[in-house]
Structure 1
Amino acid sequence: MANKVKAVLIGGTGYGGAEILRRLLFHPNVEVIRITSVDNIGKKVGDVHLNLAGLSDLTFQQLAPSEAVAGADVTFLAMPHKTTAQVVMEILSSGTRIVDLSGDFRLRDPAAYAKYYGVPHPAPQHLTDGTFVYGMPELNREAIRKARYVASPGCFATTIALGVMPLAKGGKLSGAIHTVAATGSSGSGANPQITTHHPLRASNLRTYKPLEHQHIPEILQTLRNAGAAQDLSLEFVPVSAPLPRGIFATSFVDVPASTTQEELDALWKQTYGKEPFIRIIGGGRQPEVVGVSGSNYVEVGFTLGPVTGDTRRVVCFSTLDNLVKGGAGQAIQSFNVMMGFDERTTLAEPGLWP
């Protein structure tokens, strides 16, 4: 490709930034022209992300947002929420496309943002006016094709929503969803904390933010947009698990007693049969983290329980890599769709086995 897309990464020293670079440095249609950060200034990419040693001469720079995006066709934002919104406001008029990995522009309800992120949104008009398209290709592919600004989904939100989305699209999702989801330590970021320090994490399980996680309104918004009933609710307990990468979600949903295995098999196939990164797991096996770790793939499956009164319980399983399909990979997938590239570009390789 003669004229490659010029890409900038703002916030490049975290695990998400590392994963974006691991993919974009090998993207045949992209030239990464600049990487900015607030730490490790002047260091080469490979001095911070050791797996990228020798693959790029770029160094981390500290620049004002307007300087950082100069000459960029697309800007990837890999910064914490709250910080990101301020940067976005400074570059919206620059002409660069934006793919934002933070939670700052995913929600449409400013009140929900204030409740779950702890501060009022600095630009609530951009939540309600559709400036940002929600970057889940399995739900919004056509809108992403036309977008200039994409809000890439959260890791738990992607895992849980994709796990039960066939029920939403089939008109069978209403009332309460109960979900427990275990996540790897990389989701807590590159800077060590007491809850992510290896001696305390490696042989431990613990919950955090039970029933209060910030992805709850995002999941409900996504599922309602997919066709779920408006009375939908979610009780979600996240679990900190002793693995570096991966999320495994188990969601419990009640459906009408008349629902059959064949009906649900058809819903899952109709929803995901043509999706390049979704694997429907069955035949006696259930999704596993090891099947997707290091990749952009998602494994989904379900078990249909017996009739109890006028309902049947469906247990939905879903798993993905929190840094790839739950983060950088999905952002690049949406970027590919937005730019008219093959959606699988630089994402098609499988994960590691074992």
Structure 2
Amino acid sequence: MASRVKAALIGGTGYGGAEILRRLLFHPRVEVVRVTAADNIGKRVGEVHFNLAGLTDLRFEELPPKEAAAGVDVVFLAMPHKVTAKVAMELFDLPVRIVDLSGDFRLRSAAEYREFYGVDHPAPERLGTFAYGLPELNREAIRTARYIASPGCFATTIALGLAPLAKTGLLKGPIRTVAATGSSGSGANPQITTHHPLRAVNLRTYKPLSHQHQPEILQTLHDAGGGEVALEFVPVSAPLPRGIFASSFVDVPESVTEERLAKAWRDAYANEPFIRVVEGRFPEVVAVAGGNYVEVAYKLSEAFDGRRSVVCFSALDNLVKGGAGQAIQAFNVMMGFDEGETLREPGLWP
């Protein structure tokens, strides 16, 4: 076997870092040589991520970015937005590839970043230089990329649910989406919105009509062929650890038929290894939790006042296809590896 790619993970103590390690430690083409963090310094990986106990001797180190990246081929960045961009800026002059799981390099517009992330981007000239790491819609750009901006969890769920309409020219006008997400999307550090006694018996919205993934979704759908669209997005905190379930409502002409929609979904995803177009039922989180798969489906309404509505359903695991798994999928494409390496196993049932 050819020599393995050497990888470093910066920001390894969160849930995203745990999922990256769970996959990369068993990737036959990768050797994880270094894991850094801002907390739990000196502890073995298994002392923080209990599921990895005994599987690696790696310890969490506190190192400057350039030292963390010394001698490796690729750096995975698994830190919060606003923090990640400043770390990435210290790596640009090194001969390393970057896979960034934060939102800091997904948008091409500095003005939109300022509006939705609340700060000026520290390296606006770098916006647009990262390949957007959604293989189903951007595979060719990923193949030749040096830097990848891995998509957000909501953005992946919603965009993949709507992409068949965008690709066939049927996505125009307003989109109205409600999407429920699990508590792991809020990160490993507990807070009132993830505190079990409140989360386990509750549904609540947050950032309605102003979530930071909103411009990312619109940018992605436009790139996929969507027309002039507007998005009204209401995220919901759900009482489950993993998973996102999205329902998106779109108006289409009265002439649109069930057969046309079936062809649109079939053509969009016929050759995609991680997309399931489900029939005879609708997507469910339990069918994808723990795995890198996405379930999608649609429902066409009866005609009313010259229009019809299509409801686009999609479900995925926010930590895998919505996070670390997708980052590894795009990394595999970038490196010319088998795209499904260390990602093919299904999730748990139930």
* Counterpart Cα distance in 1 of 2:183 and 2:51: 18
Structure 1 residue 207 displacement after superposition: 0.3
Corresponding residue for residue 173 of structure 1: 171
Q: CA deviation at 1:13?
A: 0.1
Q: Deviations over 1:69-127 (max 9, x none)?
A: 00110000000000000001000111110000000000011100000000011111111
Trace 1:1-354 onto structure 2 (pairs within 5 A).
1-127=1-127, 130-229=128-227, 231-283=228-280, 285-354=281-350
Whole-angstrom CA distance in 2 between matches of 1:227 and 1:240: 30
Per-residue Cα deviation, 1:180-239 (whole angstroms, up to 9, x for no partner) = 00000000000000110001100110000000000000000000000001x210000000
Structure 1 consecutive aligned stretches of length 4 or more whose deviation exceeds 3 Å? none
- The secondary structure found in structure 2 opposite 1:336 is helix
1:47-71, Cα deviation, whole Å (9 max, x unpaired): 0000000000000000000100001
Q: CA deviation at 1:173?
A: 0.3
Cα deviation, residue 2, structure 1: 3.4
Return the offset for 1:131.
1.5
Task: Measure the CA separation in 2 of the matches of 1:233 and 1:255.
Answer: 14
The alignment covers a number of residue pairs equal to 350
Residues in 1 aligned to 2:72 and 2:129: alpha-carbon distance in whole angstroms: 19
The residue identity in structure 2 corresponding to 1:85 is A
In structure 2, distance between residues paired with 1:263 and 1:234: 24
Q: Distance in 1 between matches of 2:96 and 2:8?
A: 10
1:47 & 1:161 partners in 2: Cα distance?
37
Q: What amino acid is the match of 1:170? A: T
Q: Secondary structure at the match of 2:90?
A: helix
Find the aligned partners of 2:88 and 2:155 in 1 and give their Cα distance. Answer: 22
SS in 1 for 2:138: helix
| Amino acid paired to 1:261 | E
Tell me how far apart the structure 1 counterparts of residues 126 and 2 of structure 2 sit (CA, whole Å). 35
Q: Within 2, Cα distance between the matches of 1:343 and 1:111? A: 34
| Rounded Cα–Cα distance in structure 2 between residues aligned with 1:27 and 1:328 | 13
Q: Provide Cα deviations, 1:261-314, integer angstroms capped at 9, x if missing partner.
A: 00000000000011000000112x000000000000000000000111221100
Q: Using the alignment, how far apart are the partners of 1:14 and 1:310 within structure 2?
A: 50
TM-score normalised by the chain length of structure 2 = 0.99
Amino acid aligned to 1:308: F
Unaligned runs of 5+ in 2: none
Unaligned runs of 5+ in 1: none
Q: Share of identical aligned residues, percent? A: 73
SS state at 2:321 partner? helix
CA distance in 1, matches of 2:93, 2:3: 23
Q: Secondary structure in 2 aligned to 1:186?
A: helix
Cα distance in 2 for partners of 1:50, 1:169 equals: 43
CA distance in 2, matches of 1:12, 1:311: 49
**3-state DSSP of counterpart to 1:91:** coil
Supply the RMSD in Å over aligned alpha carbons: 0.5
Q: How far apart, in 1, do the equivalents of 2:277 and 2:115 lie? A: 35
Q: What is the letter of the counterpart of residue 87 of structure 2?
A: V
Distance in structure 2 (CA, Å) of the matches to 1:211 and 1:342: 38
1:148-175 deviations in Å (ceiling 9; x for gaps): 0000000000000000100000000011
